[in-house]
Every structure is written in C-alpha cells, then in structure tokens.
Structure 1
Amino acid sequence: MEVNEDSGDQNPEPEEATASSNITADEIDQETAKKLRGDAIGDTMYSEVFVLNTLLQFSDLQWSSEVEDNLCFLWDMTEEIDVSRYLFQVSYPSLACSALVKYNEPRFIEIVVGIFANLMCAKCEKNLKEEEIKIVLHLLHSDDPYILTQVMRFTHAISFMFDKLKFIEQEHVDRFNFVLCSSTNKELLVITLKTLAAITDDTKINVDFIKGELLLSAVTAYRTVKGDADCDSNFEIFVSHEQHLNVRYLIQFLCNVCGYIDNLKVNRLVDELKLNLSEFTKEMGLLLNYYASERNLLPVDDEFKFYIEALTYIYKIVPESYMYIIIVPVCQILFIISDKDPVNFEWIAELLCYFISVGSLERLREDLGAFPVQDVKNLLLNIENKAFNFEFDYLNKLKAVLNEL
C-alpha cells in the first residue's frame, strides 16, 4: 500500500538501525593510520613539509613578515621533542650555521639561534660539531641584545654537554665581561649571569680566562637587574622568585671561581678576588638583612641554606678580614634560629664562627655591643657548649669575646 506524504502521520516509528560503515580509531591498522596522518612529525600534528619548506629558505633568504612568522612557528614547534629529533635528522645545525655565516638580518639570526638553543635543551641525541659551536659563539660580538640573549641560551645549554669547554676562549669570556658591565637589558643580564655560572662550574673553562674584574662586572649586572632601590625596597625585591635567581647565579659564579682556587691552587685569583670582593659583600649584607626578620627566615628553605653554605665556603677560600655587614645580620638570624629552629643552628653558626676567628676583639666587642648583652652571651655560650668541629680555630677567640662582654 502506498503511503500518502500528506497523511497525518508526522512521527512514524523509526526504522531498525543498520550497521554503520564508519570505523573507530582502534580498528585502524598501522599502515592506514600512517596514511591518514600524512607527513606529521613523530607523534605530533606538525608537518614535515612545512619544516622542509621553511629550511629551504635558508639557501636564498628573502626576508619578509611571512618568513619571520614561519620561523617563529618553527621555533615554537621545537618545544616538542619529536620536532627536535626531526631537525637533527635533517641536519639543522649545519643548515643554521651556514645561514648564520651568510646573512646579517638581526631578527633572522635571533630566531635561528633561538631554535638552535631549544634543540640543545631537548632531551634527545645530539650531533654537533665544534666548528658549529664556534660559529654561534662568534655571535657574542654582536651588539644586538636579542641575539646575545639567544647566544647565551645556546651557550648555557651546551655547557652541560661537555666536561671541559675547550671551544670557549678568552675573547668569549671578555664579551661576557663586557655584557655584564655595560648592558641595561635585564633579560640579557640574567641569562648571562646564569650562563657564566654554568661555564665556570667544575672548572670547565680555562682558569687563565678568569680574572678578578669578572666578579665586579657580575655584581654590576646583579645590581642592574635588582634596580636602584632604597633599603626598604630591597627587602621587597628579595620576595620575588626572579630576584632569588639573580642572587643564586651571582653566588654560584663566585663559588665556582673559589672552586678553581680550591682545586687548582691559583694564588693569583685569591689576590684578584680580594680586590673586588667588597662590593659583592655589600650585596650579601643586604640579602642577609632580609633574612634577619623571622617572617622572611622561617621556615628555613633550601634557597637560604644554599646562600649561607655558599658564603661560608667563599669567605673561607678567599680569606677575608672581619666584615661587620655580614656578622651583624648573621647574629640576628641565629637569635631567631636558636629559639625557633635549633636543628638548623650549626651550619648557620659556622659563618658567624669564621668571622669571629678572623675579627679583632675590639671590633667584635663593638659590633656585638649593638645587641642586648645577655642575648649575645647566651648565643656564644650555646656555640661554646656545642663545640662544633669546624675546620678553623674559633673557640679561643669566642671565649675571649665572652670574657670581654
């Protein structure tokens, strides 16, 4: 019987469902999946053709906003490890270095080196020649802060790939020094301090390249990043994570230089550091003053522990005369620690005991006199009773100070 389309039946019963011709993802075999994904790189959705077309432009660069956009997109893509692996497969280091020698477009150089730096940070097998490293390091002679920032990122990354950085020469360290003492670009200064700490770690570069003036330049850079603030603002600055990184890089660098002295017995460096240490110590006094407040000190964290232990090491390696701007805040810190957190007492007390060991009785009596006498006596008696076995003699001087109070 024919069904009249104009009949009143507007909601007929649904027909029985038929089998779907679609297939689900788990039904696709490996070969089909590969065809559907086309030229995707690894497990990403990024295109091999896009990468190759972008790199082909290195052979005859016609700089434009489109080329810049494509390169920036490739730069972002290198956050994916599969993309980094693929770029090594297509010899990106060789292509990049050839282009860096050939062209002088600043933005192109910045992006190419930035991609290079990302590849060096990727956790994948790397194939890099010393000649290629030197081509990038030569860009340290650039005056462009954005290029220099990427070169520093590259240098920082490769510093972890070698036990000794034989390709870093005096001219490169001189450029580090110049950037630190003359640049006003805070991003560049922070990455330069970070890189300086990395390349001097474990005596990786030639000791002859390290001069005392490098410390003064590092302090100059540190102060530029920190800003020209008054004392109250200095306390506020130390709250930020960025400023603590700034402090860490500066202290780590000087610790590394002391490592050269400790391991290689470089007397020249001791003398040169002594000439340039006072400005560093002024900054450390401000840092310790920040921690001389209970709200900033407690709970004691690993960052503060690094600061104290590093400063103790530095001042023992570079024998320094008595420093009141260190000893006064350390006493304030120990007053708090002895009462609120005695488990952390010993490693902080070591820094105080070192300066007691090198200070004169007259200066110690004068500076410790700024605190209530009984508080000072209790602190020193606590140290005397514990009789810590430090590697320097402090007990005799400590007892003499107690007798003077």
Structure 2
Amino acid sequence: MKAEQMEDAETQNQVAGDVIGDTAYSERFVLKILLKLANLDTLKEDIKEKSFEDDICILWDMTTEKDVVLFLQKHEVLKLINFALPVIETSRIVEIFIGIIGNMCCQKEVVNVLMKMDDLLAILMCYINTDDSLVLVQLLRLVSSCLFLANDEEIETWMNLFATVEYSSALYFILKNSSHKDLLVTALENLNTLCSYCNTEKFRTKFYSHFVVEEALDCLTAAFTEITVNRKATCSKSKLERVQIVSLQIVLNFVGFENSLEMYESSKDNVTTLINIILRYYEEKLIVNKEIDSDLIDILVSTNTIVDALKITGSPENYFEPTYNMWNATSSIMKTDKDGSSFEENDKEELKDFIAKVRNPLAMLMCYYLANITEDNFYKVFEVVETIYEEVASWVNDEPLETNMSQRVTNYRTRPKD
C-alpha cells in the first residue's frame, strides 16, 4: 500500500472512531464543549465569545438524535449544566441550555435522571418568572416533555414544584399579557399538557387547588384571541386549528368541576367568544371551502359539554347560527349529488360517515339553545328552524332535552294567535 493510501485509511479510521453512535456527529466536538462547561473559572469568558454560542447552538440541534443524547448523558451533561447555569447571565445562552435539556427530555432515561436532581429542577423552575420570552418557550417545552414521560411519582414531584414556584400564576400571567405568538402557543400547549397529565383521578385535588382559579379561563381566552384574531395572518392553517382544538380541550377540563358554573360565571362571555370563533372557522371550512374535517365532530361534542356546564345561551349568532348553517350544509350534501359534487375529493362513504357522526352533536347544540333561551327569543328563532325541527329532533338522544324541547314546541304551536 502506498504511503498516501495508508494515510487516507488512517484518517478514515480516526474519523470513524470519532462519530457518536450511528450519527455523523463528532465526539470530540461535544467533549470540547463539555470541558468548557466543567471549567467555571474560564466559562464566564468563554460564553462571551460568539464561537461558544455557535457551538452550543449546533449541540442543541444535535440533541434531536437519541445517540447524541445518550452520549451526553454518559458524560453527565446535566450535572455540568447544573453547575454552569448559576454563573450564566446571558439570556440567549440560558435559552440554549434549557432547550438542550428539553430536547434530551424526549428520552425517558434523561427524565429519570433529571427528576432526581432537585437543585437543577429548582434552578430551572425559577426561570418561570423571567421576562425573556424565548427562555420561557424552552422552559415550557421542557416541562411538557417531562410530563409526557412521567410516572405517578414524577408527576407528584412536578405538582409540588408547581406549587412552590407558583407556576400557575406565572403561566396565567403569560397567557393574559404576552403578545409573543410562539410563547402563547407554547403556553397553551403546556396548559393542555398539564390538564392531560395532572388533572387525573390521583392528582385532581392538587390540580384543582393550584390551577383551577377564577382568572384561568379569562387568561386562556386572552391568549386565544391574540393568536386567532390579532395574529391570525401570521399563523399557518395547521397551527391555527391546533390552537383552536387545544383551547377548547382546556376549557373542557376547567368546566368539569362541581363549582365550575359559579367560579366561571364572569368568564362566560369570553368563553362564548372563543366558541363563536371556532364554530365560524369550521362553518367556513365546511360550507365555503367544502372541506370535510373529522375534528369538527369532537369540537361540537366538546362545545355541547361546555355550553351545558356554563349554561351559555345568549345571542343566536354566538353558536346557534353557525350550527344551523352547518346542519343545512349536511342536508344539502345528503339530498343531492350536485351539492355534494364539490366534495369529490372525499370518498362518498367517507362523506356519509362524517354526516352520520356530525349530525347528532349539531342537533344537540341547536336543541340545547332552543331549550334554554327566553320565551320571546324562542319564538323568534323557532320560526327560522320550524321546517326542519322534526328532523333535527330525531337526532337528539338526550331524554330530558327531548322532553323540554317537545313541551316548548307544543306551547309555541298551540299559543293564541294575534
């Protein structure tokens, strides 16, 4: 073998021995960063260098790879970050390190280790009171990632941490006051995660005592309105729909307690606005854009639960009108091929299945409204829907609601004529 070939082979072997797992990333690159973190005497100067920020940004990207995460864990990077964070005063560097931990917490092994590091958890949770939006985004992501993989013992730890740092107050302050779109979206996702993993039978009492407060729904709807109305033009379709679904899920969680009606009486108008925005969006999607979206079924089911829990009626424009319009759209699709031809991208069986599933919650929502509005308003609204009432009523499967509606309709039809 020629000298040049031997040198190339040696270089290739060195490169192959330097990579992390099955990735193309360099062990030496990572170890160089870890050595800097380990030396607190020089770290303060290192973090002032642009090259240091660039390197840890690359490391942040690298932590989407499991092999890199396990390599970092092998070298106890959480301990190094724990020692380093107290001396770091630059928000950008703090953001990156919390982001790195957040990415690493997508692996259960890392969550297990982190949950035993009381000092690091305490340091991290203190950042909930920072005014830096980007740091908050990463912290909320980290908390959500940990909750996804947490067992009961770890959730207990989180609930205690939340109480210690008054996490709910900070989270609700963000939702109510921030205008940073990414932070608001992340905060909504975080609150939804809290509802999913902490509002369970075992932790329901603690969840209630810490998170279920009078201002909760007002803060939620403030964030929802900021994103879906004020920042709508900057949101992708998928993000906008995700925010709508998540927000409705959160409301559903908060109205599921015995005293919800009393606690959230002053929030009914805001919740009604939220429902109206969501239903109007899906009304346009179905009627104007001719799009079949199965999410509408769950949205209507959730809306039924919410309006019943909070006893919401109000103006027919709030939720009766869009519901009525969507009902008529489903009727048109069922009756004529012509009306359904715009849905040609959907299989006919899929259309039939969608209509069969969506008509019950549509009917329930319309009838709930009719059963609970004032007598004068009932007469005005029923005149509009009288021709389809029997068909709508046939889809209602709630006996008390059926009885109430039947009595009101009988009274209407037998009333003395002027």
Q: What's the TM-score, normalizing by structure 1?
A: 0.80
Residue identity opposite 1:144 in structure 2 = D
1:398 Cα deviation after fit? 4.2
**Alignment pair present for 1:316 and 2:308:** yes
Residue identity opposite 2:214 in structure 1 = G
Q: Specify whether residues 183 and 322 from structure 1 end up closer, same or farther in structure 2 by C-alpha distance, changes over 3 A only.
A: closer
**Alignment pair present for 1:240 and 2:237:** yes
Does the 8 Å contact 1:380/1:402 carry over to 2?
no
Q: Counterpart of 2:21?
A: 42
**Alignment pair present for 1:333 and 2:335:** no
Q: Secondary structure at the match of 2:149?
A: coil
Residue identity opposite 1:252 in structure 2 = Q
* Mapped partners of 1:216, 1:249: distance in 2: 15
Does the 8 Å contact 2:248/2:302 carry over to 1?
yes
Q: Counterpart of 2:187?
A: 192
1:118 Cα deviation after fit? 0.8
Give CA-to-partner distance per residue, 1:337-369, whole Å, 9 cap, x none.
233254131122222222233223321222344
Residue identity opposite 1:129 in structure 2 = M
* Mapped partners of 1:274, 1:249: distance in 2: 22
**Alignment pair present for 1:378 and 2:387:** yes
* Mapped partners of 2:166, 2:303: distance in 1: 30
Q: Secondary structure at the match of 1:46?
A: coil
The structure 1 residue matched to 2:292, chosen from 300, 304, 321, is 300
* Mapped partners of 1:186, 1:48: distance in 2: 36
Does the 8 Å contact 2:95/2:138 carry over to 1?
yes
1:108 Cα deviation after fit? 0.9
Q: Specify whether residues 239 and 68 from structure 1 end up closer, same or farther in structure 2 by C-alpha distance, changes over 3 A only.
A: closer
Identity %: 23
* Mapped partners of 2:76, 2:294: distance in 1: 42
| 1:11-90 equivalent positions in 2, closer than 5 A | 37-58=16-37, 59-60=39-40, 61=43, 62=45, 63=47, 64-90=49-75
Does the 8 Å contact 2:172/2:216 carry over to 1?
yes
Does the 8 Å contact 2:283/2:325 carry over to 1?
yes
The structure 2 residue matched to 1:351, chosen from 334, 357, 365, is 365
* Mapped partners of 2:129, 2:399: distance in 1: 45
Q: Counterpart of 2:269?
A: 278
1:316 Cα deviation after fit? 2.5
Q: Specify whether residues 300 and 364 from structure 1 end up closer, same or farther in structure 2 by C-alpha distance, changes over 3 A only.
A: farther
Q: Which has the higher helix share?
A: 2
Does the 8 Å contact 1:270/1:318 carry over to 2?
yes
Could you list the runs of 5+ residues in structure 1 that have no partner in the other structure?
Answer: 1-21
Does the 8 Å contact 1:284/1:326 carry over to 2?
yes
* Mapped partners of 1:197, 1:221: distance in 2: 13
* Mapped partners of 2:137, 2:236: distance in 1: 25
* Mapped partners of 2:400, 2:147: distance in 1: 35
- The aligned length equals 361
Q: Secondary structure at the match of 2:213?
A: coil
Q: Secondary structure at the match of 2:122?
A: helix
Larger Rg: 1
1:319 Cα deviation after fit? 3.3
* Mapped partners of 2:234, 2:374: distance in 1: 34
Q: Specify whether residues 301 and 237 from structure 1 end up closer, same or farther in structure 2 by C-alpha distance, changes over 3 A only.
A: farther
| 1:255-270 equivalent positions in 2, closer than 5 A | 255-259=252-256, 261=257, 265=258, 267=259, 269-270=260-261
341-350 vs 325-334, which deviates more?
Answer: 341-350
